[in-house]
Structure 1
Amino acid sequence: MSYLKKIIANCLFIIGLILLASCNPKKEKVVQSINQELKAKPNILFIAVDDLKPELNFYGATHIQSPNLDKLASESLVFERSYCNVPVCGASRASILTGLRPTRHRFLNAFTKKDEDAPDVNSLPMTFLKNGYTTISNGKIYHHGDDDKNAWNEIWHPETKGNYYALKENSDLRTDDDRGPAFEVAEVADSVYSDGKIANKGIRDLRKLKKTGEPFFLALGFMKPHLPFNAPTKYWEMYDEKKITLPENYIQPETTPSRAFHKFGELRNYYGIPQGNEPIDDELANKLIHGYYASVSYVDAQIGKVLTELDRLGLAENTIVVLWGDHGWNLGNHKLWCKHVTFESSLRTPLVVKIPNVTKGTKNNNIVEYIDVYPTLCELSGIEKPTHLEGLSLLPLFEGKSIDKNYAVSKFKDAVTLIKGSMFYTEWINDKGEVSDRMLFDHTNDRLELNNLAEKPEYRESVYELSNDLRTKWGEDFLKRPLK
C-alpha cells in the first residue's frame, strides 16, 4: 500500500511540474522571440521630454510639426492610452524611476526627491548599473540634479547659469520674484538653448559608448516644451499664428467641482502674464500656444539629431529607445494652463518604445501607467525585476498579446483618479479616505470632459462601483503615513 502511495505521489508531483511549466506559455514565447532580436544586454536610450503632451501627428493631431518623433513612432509601439501617475514633474519622475505609486504622503509635488521619499529603493538606473550597464544622466531626468546620484556613472547638466534666455533684454527682465518672459523668439543656433546642448552631449556620449562596447543606459532629459517657450526663430516660423485656435473645451462647466480648476500659478510667475484671477486674453493665449508648438518642433529636431547618430554608429540595432513626457499639459483646456489637475489633458502622456526588428509603428489601446515602464525594461533586458515594483510588465503587448491589467490610477494633492474603460473617475479625499467631491466623465460620448456625471442619480451605482475599485487599485500603502 505504501508503494502505491509513493507512485501516486510521484505522479502528482510530475503533473504539478507540467502544469507549472505551462501556466504562462504565452509570456515565455514573447520573451524568447523578442530576445532573439537583441543581444544579451540591449542598450537603453531613455528620452524624457518635459511637459510634452500627446498632441502629435501619430496621436491623431496634425497641427504640430514633429517629423523626427513621427519617424520614431513609425518604428515603435505607440501606447495610445498612457497615463502618468502624478501630473507634476518632480513627483512623476520619482514615480516612474522607482516603479512606485504616489500616495497621500509620497511623491507629492515638483520638488519631490527620490532620496527622501524612497531612499532604500533601487531605482531603474540603479538596477541597470548593478547589472553591468554604464548609466549616464544628461539634462533633466530627476527634478533635482543630485537626486539618486549613486545610480549614475555620470550626471551632466547644461551650463545656463540660471538664465534660459538668449536675448539680453529678456534676461534683464528676470528678478528674484519673476522668471522673465513666458516666451522668446531669437535668431540663434539650436545649441544656444539647453536642449541643443543636451543633444550634443548625447551624441558625444554615444560615440564614446560605441568605442567601449559596454551596454549602456543613456538618459536624455530635454527641457522643452516646458516654460518659458524659448526657441530659435525658424521653429516659430513653421506656424501661422492666425491659424492657431483655442481648444474646443475652452470652458469651465458649472457641473465640475470648482476645486478641479486652479489659477495656473506656474505661468503667472512669468513677466507679462496677468496676475491673480485675471484671465488670459485670446491674443496672449494664441501666442502661448504658438510658443508651445515652436518649442515642440525645436526639441523634435534635437531628438532627431541623437537618433540619427544612433543609426550612423550602428548602435540602433541593439538599442531599445523609450520616449516619454513626464505628464500632460493644459494649453487652454478648461481655460487652464500648465498641469496640476486630474483632467485627461494633464494625465495622458506620450509613450513610445522602439525595439529593433520587433516594433513597426503599431498602436496599442491598452490603458498603461508609468509605473509599468520599470518592470517592462527589466524583462526586455533579461534583468530580474526588484520585488518592490508596483507596475506590470507590458512585454506581452509587444507581440499583440493581452495583459491582466487595463487601468491606471493617478493623483494630485487630494484628487485621485481611476481611468478604466471609457470612465474617468476622480475623488477628492482626506487622510482617512473620506470623499468630499467627485467627478466622472464617460469618454465614449464626452472626450472633452464637459459633463460631470458623478452626481446624476442614474450613475449612482457606477460611482459606487468605481469608488470601491479605486480603493483596491490605488495601492495598499496609499493612506499610510511613512514611519519617521
Structure 2
Amino acid sequence: MKWIVFGFATMIAFAAIGLTVNKSPQQQHSNVILICIDDLRPDLACYGNPLIQSPNLDRLAKRSAVFMRQYVTQPTCGASRYSLLTGRLPRNKVELTNEAIEKEIAGKPRGEKPETFIDNLRRSGYYTVGIGKISHSADGFVYKYEEPKSNVLELPHSWDEMLFDPGKWKTGWNAFFAYADGSNRQSKRAQVKPYENAEVDDEGYPDGLSAKIAVTKLRELSERRQPFFLSVGFFKPHLPFNAPRKYWDMYHEARIPLTQSSAIPDKVNPASLHQSAEFNGYKLGDEMASLEKPVSDAYARKLRHAYYAGVSYVDAQVGKVLDALTQLELDNNTIVIVWSDHGWHLGDHRVWGKHTIFDQALRSVLIVKTPEMKTGQVRHEIVSSIDIYPTLMDLCNVKAPAGLDGKSFSGMLGNGKSTNWDNVAYSYFKQGISVRTDRYRLTKYFRADKPTIELYDHKNDPHENHNIADKHPDIVQSINPVWAKGNTGLFN
C-alpha cells in the first residue's frame, strides 16, 4: 500500500510538472498578433510627431523595438502585402499591382505558389485567424468592388478562420469605402468628399467592428491549447479620411503644420510623381490636386486634420486589441507586430497619395514586441518589409523556406547590435528601382523621360527636395553595385 500511495503521488507530481511545462512560455511556440494598418505613414508620437494623438501605439512602443527606417518594397497595398507575406522582392510586373496576391496565390495548390509565413505557421501547428484587410481584399475574399462577396479566399492555405463584419455596408469592399450613413464611394458613384466626421461611436465605422471581433476571438483563442496566429487588418487612415467626430476634436486645425516639400523636387521629372488620381476620384472634394500647383493651405490643413483623426481612430482600435491581450494574460507569450503597408504623401511634392518611390511613400511603421521585452528601444538600422518573414520564423522557432529575399533582424530585438547588417532596402514602382542606404536614396528609372537617375542625400536633405545625381556622379557610381543587387530584371 505504501508503494501504491507513493506511486500515485509521483504520478500526480509528474502530471503537475507536465501541466506546468505545457503552460510555460519558454516551452511553447509564442503566439503572434500581426496588426496591419492601411496607408499609415510614420506619423505617430513614438516616431517623433508630437501633434499626433496615438497613446495606444505609443504605449506599445515603450515596450517594443520601434524601427525608424523600415521600407516597403512597393508603394501600393496589394503588392506591398504580397512581398510582406512571401518575403520576396518583385520579379514580374504582376507583383507590382494590387492583384498580385489574387493572381499569384489565390486558387493555386500548394507548391505552385510562394508560401506565405501564415501558411508556414499553420503547417507548423499554429491556429490561424484573419480579420479584415491582411492581403489586398478588404475581407480576404476575391471579388471586385461592386460585386457580391465570393467564397474564394485570397490566401487559400493560410487561414483556419477568415472573419469580417461588414455591418450596414453589406460587403467588405463597401465597408472599405464606408461613410457613416451606410453608403460607400461606389454606391454614390464617387460623388463624395474624401473626408467625413460623423457623430457616431467607434462601431459607426468598420474598424470598430473589426476590433470588436478581435477582442471576442482573443477570448476564444486563450482557451485553446494551441499556439495561434491572429492578424487584424484595419482600414484607416486609408481614403476616405473618415472617423468619428471625437477623433477630429482632438486636433486644432490651425495648428497643423504643412508639408516641408511643397514643390516638385529640383531636377526631377514629373513622371517620377503622379497626379493624385485616387484622391481626385472623390468628386466632391473641395479642390482637386495636381502637380501644376499645390492645393490651398486651408484645404491642405483640413485634409491633414482628417488624416490625423483617422490615425487616432485606428490607434484606439489597436488599443482595444492590446488591452484584451493583457487582460487575458496572453501578453507574456505573444509576439506583437504592428506594420503599415506603405506611407503616404500628404501634399508632399504636391502629391496626395502613395504611388511613388520617394521616402514619403516607402517608409512605414514597424513596431515589434516579443514576450521577453520589458523596455522599449529605437532602432535606426534600415530594414525592409521582406525581412519580417524570416524574423518571425526565428522568433517562432519555425523553419523558414528556401528562397526568401529577406533576412532576420531577430538579433536586434534584445538590445543587440546589428552585426553584419547591410543597411539597404529596395523598392520598385513607376518603371523604377530605388535603393535606400544609410545616407542616400538612389533611384533609376527605365523610361524615356529625363532625368532617369535621382540621388538624395538624407543627411542634408531628409525630405528629398533636391536631386543631386548630376552634381555627384562619383556617389552614384559608388552606390551602383548596391543598387544592382536589387535589380531583379523586372524592367529589363
TM-score by shorter chain over 0.5: yes
Shift of the alpha carbon at 1:37? Answer: 6.6
Cα separation, 1, equivalents of 2:276 and 2:236: 18
2:12 counterpart residue number: none
The 3 A distance-change label for structure 1 pair 422 and 179 is: farther
Q: Is 1:206 paired with 2:218?
A: yes
What is residue 382 of structure 2 aligned with on the other side?
A: 367
Q: With structure 2 as the length reference, what TM-score do the two structures score?
A: 0.85
Does the CA-based 8 Å contact 1:141-1:221 persist in structure 2? yes
Aligned partner of 1:31 in structure 2 is none
Letter in 2 for 1:121: P
Say whether the 8 Å CA contact 1:427–1:435 is kept in structure 2. no
1:422 partnered with 2:429: no
Where structure 1 has 5 or more consecutive residues not aligned to the other structure, the ranges are 1-35
Pairing of 1:302-381 with structure 2 (within 5 A): 302-358=317-373, 360-381=375-396
Give the corresponding residue for 1:155.
162
Query: Structure 2, unaligned stretches of length 5 or more?
Result: 1-23, 141-152
Query: CA distance change for structure 1 residues 115 and 262 in 2, over 3 Å: closer, same or farther?
Result: closer
Distance across 1 between alignment mates of 2:406 and 2:185: 45
The question of 1:239 aligning with 2:258 is answered: no
Percent of aligned pairs with the same amino acid: 38
Q: Which amino acid aligns with 2:194?
A: A
Give CA deviations for 1:414-441 in whole Å, capped at 9, x if unaligned.
Answer: 111011111011110269xx99601110
Matches within 5 A, 1:181-192: 181-192=193-204
Instruction: State the secondary structure of the residue aligned to 2:41.
Output: coil
Moved more, 74-83 or 144-153: 144-153
Q: Could you report, residue by residue, the CA deviation over 1:371-406 in whole angstroms, capped at 9, with x for unpaired residues? A: 000000001110011002110000111231324321
> Are positions 1:272 and 2:284 aligned together?
yes
User: 1 CA distance for matches of 2:368 and 2:243?
Assistant: 27
Q: Given the alignment of the two structures, is residue 261 of structure 1 paired with residue 268 of structure 2, yes or no? A: no
Distance 1:415 1:179, change over 3 A: farther
CA distance in 2, matches of 1:301, 1:132: 31
Q: Does residue 1:406 correspond to 2:406, yes or no?
A: no
Deviation of 1:215 after TM superposition, in Å, equals 0.5
Distance 1:167 1:326, change over 3 A: closer
Aligned to 2:9: none
- Once the two structures are TM-superposed, the CA of residue 253 in structure 1 deviates from its matched residue by 3.1
Equivalences for 1:430-445 in 2 at 5 Å?
437-445=452-460
| Residue deviations 1:350-377 (CA, integer Å, cap 9, x gap) | 1010012225210111110000000000
- C-alpha separation in 2, matches of 1:142 and 1:363: 28
Map of 1:65-144 to 2, 5 A cutoff?
A: 65-113=53-101, 115-116=103-104, 119-144=112-137
Conservation of the 8 A alpha-carbon contact between 2:440 and 2:455: yes
Deviations 1:321-371 (A, max 9, x none): 000000011111111111000111101111010012225210111110000
Q: Distance in 1 between matches of 2:191 and 2:328?
A: 40
**Counterpart for residue 282 of structure 1:** 297
Aligned counterpart, 1:53: 41
Deviations 1:234-287 (A, max 9, x none): 000000111112111111134122212210101001132345847522222111
Checking the alignment, whether the CA contact within 8 Å between 1:53 and 1:349 is kept in structure 2 is yes
**What SS class does the counterpart of residue 448 from structure 1 fall into?**
coil
TM-score (norm 1): 0.86
Q: State the alpha-carbon separation in 2 of the partners of residues 347 and 359 from structure 1.
A: 29
Contact 1:174 1:180 in 2 (8 A): no
- Determine the C-alpha separation between the residues in 2 that align with 1:220 and 1:85: 21
Shift of 1:103: 3.0
Look up the match of 2:309.
294
Counterpart CA distance in 2 for 1:104 and 1:455 is 30
Counterpart CA distance in 2 for 1:375 and 1:173 is: 38
Letter aligned with residue 96 of structure 1: L
Deviation, 1:474, is 3.7
Alpha-carbon distance in 2 for matches of 1:108, 1:321:
28
Indicate the SS of the match to 1:217: strand
